[in-house]
Amino acid sequence: MIDLALDIMSWILLTVGGACVLIGGIGGLRLPNFYTRIHAASLTDTMATLLIFVGIILQSGFTLASLKLFAIMLFLLLTGPTATYALANAALLSGLKPGPGRSGLKPDAGTAKDKTKENAPE
């Protein structure tokens, strides 16, 4: 009985976690601006980490593997927002202004010629 309840909880958590991951990925492509993309990437990252890892921990019971999973989850939860903060700070300090502008319509491979078209020094 408890096993069934744990299985159902795991299923739900893993599925919602997978959906979060997908939403984050799609958001990273479709959103117009760097700052909006960073919202999509970081929020869904953290949420998916929580959900998926709790789902797996529920499945594996009280073993060493659960402890390792808990440690991984803790480190991801600590370092994910820090990296996001550092990235957004670096972008802001080097001149990329958060605004309603739309960028990213033209795919390119980072060639030198579109430095003149961006308002941020690259």
Binding site for another protein (CB under 8 A): 10-11, 14-15, 17-19, 21-22, 24-26, 28-29, 34, 37-38, 41, 45, 48-49, 52-53, 56, 59-60, 63-65, 68-69, 71-72, 75-76, 78-80, 82-87, 89-91, 93-94, 96, 103-104, 106-112, 114, 118, 120-122
Q: What is the C-alpha separation between 59 and 56, in angstroms, rounded?
A: 5
Residue whose C-alpha is closest to residue 18's, from 42, 50, 57, 40: 50
Smallest gap from residue 26 Cβ to another protein (A): 7
Smallest gap from residue 99 Cβ to another protein (A): 14
CB-nearer residue toward another protein: 2 or 107: 107
Smallest gap from residue 9 Cβ to another protein (A): 12
Which tokens in the block code for residue 76?
Answer: 């991801």
How distant, in Å, are the alpha carbons of 16, 25, 53, 72, 82 from that of 12? Answer: 6, 20, 12, 21, 28
Asked if 48 contacts 24 with a C-beta cutoff of 8 angstroms, the reply is yes
